[in-house]
Amino acid sequence: MAIYLHYVGERWYTDERFIKEGKDMGVQRLTSYAMVKKLFNERAIIYYARYDRNRNYARVFAKGKVTGVASTSMTFRKILGDKIHKQGGIWTKEVRGCGTCYSCIVFIDEEDIDKILDEIPKDEQRRCRWFILSDIEPYTTAIDNRIKYKVKTRHIIVYDIAFTRGFIKLSGGKEGNIGKAILKIIKMHKLRDSDEYDDVIGKAKVDLSQYTQLDKWLGGVSP
C-alpha cells in the first residue's frame, strides 16, 4: 500500500482541531487533479505532519486512509446527477478551518471513480479544484534527521524533508480495496479570508524529484 507524507499548515489548524474536523466531516485536502488520481488509484495511506522550522523536523500527529475524491468539476455533477437523486443526496454547507464549501456526497464503487476521473476534460483537470478525502486517527511519531524505520515503535525517521504543500511518497504501490468510496461534488468552495470561488487555476506544481529515493529507502514501512 502506498504511503505518503503531507504537511498541515499552522495558520488555521492545531493538531486537535484538524483531527476533530477530520472525525466530524472527514479530511479534505486541496491538491492537483493528477495527485488526486494517483492517491486514489494507489488507495494511499497519508501521514499528516506538522513542520517545526526551528528544529527542522516533521512531527506526524495523525494518519488516514484515502476514502474518496472531491471536485468543483461540472462534469462530476453531470455524470452523477442520477446517482445523487437516487441516493437522496442533498447539498450541505461545511465550515472548515481553511474555508467553506457547499457539497453533496455520493457513495459509489471505487472502480467507477477511476472511470469517472478518466472522463474529466483537460480544461477541468487544470481549472477546477480537486481534493483528496481520507479518514483520520491520531498517530504519534517524529520524522527527523535520518532515514530509519523502527518496527517496535512504528517511528519513521527521514532526513531533511522541506515543508511543501504537496504529497511526498514514502513507500509502496497499489494495494487493498475501498469498496464503496466517497465522491463529493462541490458546488461552491471558498478559501478562508478570500473572495475566490470555484474554477481557479491551481498553484504551480511542487518539485518532489529530490525525494524519489525515499521509496527505496523506506521499503519496509507498513501501514
Structural domain boundaries in the chain: 3-217
Beta-sheet pairing, 57-71 with 167-171:
unpaired
Q: Give me the pLDDT at residue 69, please.
A: 94
Q: What is the pLDDT of residues 7-65, one digit of tens each?
A: 888 778 888 999 999 999 999 998 999 999 999 988 899 989 887 666 656 678 899 99
Q: Give me the pLDDT at residue 36, please.
A: 93
- The model carries a pTM of 0.77
Decide if 5 contacts 49 (C-beta within 8 A). yes
Strand partners, 95: 100
CB-based burial of residue 123 (10 Å sphere; 0-12 exposed, 13-18 middle, 19+ buried)?
Answer: exposed
Q: Which grid coordinates belong to 116?
A: 469517472
If you search the block for the grid coordinates 477546477, which residue do you land on? 128
Q: Give me the pLDDT at residue 175, please.
A: 64
- The secondary structure of 198-214 as a DSSP string is S--PPPPPP--GGGTTH
More confident residue, 67 or 214: 67
Beta-sheet pairing, 3-7 with 167-171:
antiparallel
Q: What is the pLDDT of residues 157-187, one digit of tens each?
A: 454 455 566 788 877 766 667 778 898 888 8
Give the number of other Cβ atoms within 10 Å of residue 72's Cβ.
23
Query: Under DSSP, is residue 45 helix (H, G, I), strand (E, B) or coil?
Result: strand
Q: Residue 10: what residue type?
A: E
Give me the phi and psi of 121, to 5 degrees please.
-60, 150
Distinct helix (H) and strand (E) counts, the chain:
6, 12
Cα 105 to Cα 30, 118, 181, distances in angstroms: 17, 20, 10
User: What average pLDDT does the structure give for the chain?
Assistant: 75
Q: Give me the pLDDT at residue 135, please.
A: 95
Q: Which grid coordinates belong to 38?
A: 494517483
Rounded Cα gap, residues 22 and 134, in angstroms: 8
